[in-house]
Amino acid sequence: NVQFINEQEVKEEDDKEDVIVRAKSYFLQPMKIEEAITRMEALGHDFFLYLDKEDDLISVVYIRHEGGYGVIQAENPIA
């Protein structure tokens, strides 16, 4: 069971499991995977959510622990 609570509540209730402490939303920018990797690295993140410019699929590029990158794509394109 996942719950959304604010950071103050997390500090007061450290024994809770599966707690979302931060939620973000933003406009998906259309780009190629190479640009997504560049932006991910520039931000210092382990993953980056974007709209694949070539096939209009919501995609996540991520750094693999074994080295290199991986990508996860939604199977249905954005209408």
- All domains of the chain in start order, with CATH: 25-79 (3.30.505.50)
Two tokens at 67?
A: 């080295």
44 and 19 Cβ atoms separated by less than 8 Å = no
13 and 6 Cβ atoms separated by less than 8 Å = no
pTM equals: 0.71
pLDDT of 16 higher than 80:
no
Residues 52, 54, 55: CA angle, nearest 5 degrees: 75
Task: Give the residue from 20, 39, 16 showing the smallest Cα distance to 29.
Answer: 39
Q: What is the mean pLDDT of residues 12-28?
A: 78
pLDDT digits (tens, 9 = 90+) for 43-67: 999 999 999 999 999 999 999 999 9
Two tokens at 50?
A: 């974007």
